Chains A and B, each alone.
Chain A
Amino acid sequence: MALDKEFKEIPGTIVFDADQSRKGYWLNQFCMSLMKADNRARFKADERAYLDEWKMTEEQKQAVIARDLNRMMALGGNIYFLSKIGATDGKSFQQMAGSMTGMSEEDYRAMMIGGGRSIEGNRRVGEHGDAQRPESHANEDK
């Protein structure tokens, strides 16, 4: 039984299923390798050379180098895996999550203190909430 297609109709959201998992397998496994200090040091010393040790697509490697989390998500990354890149860069989860919204770090933090992003208009693609940015490429590969 395939996953309900409704999961693909939530705006600004990529649901990590078996298809995404296959697509992003080596991207995510590369991220896991960053849990070892030696690997973090080697990655920081020469990102390109370290990435070339993994069976990732060129697009995935470019997205990592650009630290484009939305792009990495679209290419099969999962946020819990991608967060290892953020940890390597010394970023908090709030900084990582905020970076995917197009908001500044200060604006995102203020939004959270103000009660977070509203669900209104953000339940289904085609409504009029603030997570429905058409320019976002988060939904590109759906």
Chain B
Amino acid sequence: MARITASVYTSHIPAVGAAFDLGKTHEPYWQKVFSGYEFSKQWEKEHKPDVILLVYNDHATAFSLSMIPTFAIMTGPEFYPADEGYGRRPVPPVIGHPELASHIASEVIQKDFDLTMVNEIDVDHGLTVPLSCMFGAVDAWPCKIIPFAVNVVQHPVPSGQRCFNLGKAIREAIESYPEDLNVQIWGTGGMSHQLQGPRAGLINSEWDNKFLDELIADPAALARMPNIDYVREAGSEGIELVMWLIARGAMADVAGGPPPKVAHRFYHVPASNTAVGHLILENAA
């Protein structure tokens, strides 16, 4: 049977991708950011997954205002890095897992979560920057990846509670898949940042760290936080953090299992306009 072995949480800041692509990772400014992922790259080598379900948001790249799916699962075989206006990132294509993706869609739709299924889409920095952070420069990503997009651009965006509940349903779906697969689920985006208006540049380290504490120790309580609190306390783009609750909801303890092990925790300000947060939680073997 397939099983979720771990969840990974990380920011997906575009400037981090640019620093990576332009070979600036050893500049002091960026070195502080990338130092937080040294452990993670080694950890991924030792815990190599077969498949990652990667929760991210599209930033007006593939989804314009012509269609705005709240939740979209990518059921196609492969996806290419998007040209977001600066040219395509020089990173490998993403190879999907259409069978597992379709199985997840089928299971969770029958549990009343209405997913949009997408077979052709270019993936933007929200998806490719976490891969670069966790795997470094590679010729091919070491596993299959199922992109899963959440609308956090036009409000109302799904609540933390909705995301947490969806994570629980995704866990049940994955664990009912007959093939033996080591699956990781990643939640990306955040942490505090605001990219617009006179309040641009907002960072709330105290709130971010409390969010990390609660995500680890009491995610069910964290899931009850209303969306207004994310926007007010963590900035208009800090709302991306609801996506972390999908990954957290898929961990074993939420379904009555033992608490996860905190394998790694990192927090740094700033990368460009944003607070970088990163966590790795392992399910007991």
Contact = CB atoms under 8 A, between A and B. Distances in A.
Do A and B make up one complex?
yes
Interface of A: 3-4, 6-7, 10-18, 21, 25, 28-29, 31-32, 34-35, 40, 69-70, 73, 78-81, 83-84, 87-88, 92-94, 96-98, 100-102, 108, 111-113, 115-117, 119, 122-124, 131-133, 136, 138
B203 A13 contact: no
Contacts of B237: 79
Interface stretch (B111-119, B131-139, B190-198): B190-198
A15 B236 CA distance: 7
A96 B85 CA distance: 14
- B-side interface mostly: loop
A13 B155 CA distance: 14
A108 B61 CA distance: 27
A13 B272 contact: no
Contacts of A102: 198
Contacts of A25: 65
B199 A111 contact: no
B275 A14 contact: no
10 contacts: A14-B197, A18-B154, A29-B65, A78-B60, A78-B154, A94-B273, A97-B201, A115-B203, A116-B269, A131-B197
A6 B228 contact: yes
Nearest to A26: B65
A73 B196 contact: yes
Contacts of A98: 200-201
Interface string B216-228: 0000000000101
Contact of A112 (B86, B196, B201): B201
A32 B273 contact: no
Given A7-B231, A93-B272, 10 more contacts: A3-B155, A13-B199, A17-B155, A79-B196, A94-B272, A101-B200, A113-B29, A117-B200, A119-B202, A123-B233
Contacts of B269: 112, 115-116
Contacts of A28: 60, 64-65
Q: What are the 4 A-B residue pairs with the smallest beta carbon separation, nearest first?
A: A116-B203, A87-B85, A12-B198, A12-B199
Given A29-B66, A117-B201, A83 B155 contact: no
Interface in B165-204: 192, 194-204
A7 B155 contact: yes
B157 to A, nearest CB: 10
A70 B200 CA distance: 11
Max chain B C-beta neighbours (<10 A), residue from A17, A34, A80: A80
B64 A100 contact: no
Contacts of B196: 13-14, 69, 73, 79, 97, 100
A10 to B, nearest CB: 5
Contacts of A124: 232
A136 B197 contact: yes
Contact of B200 (A7, A100, A119): A100
Interface string B228-240: 1001110011000
A97 to B, nearest CB: 4
B197 A13 contact: yes
A128 to B, nearest CB: 14
B156 A93 contact: no
A17 B197 contact: no
B207 interface: yes
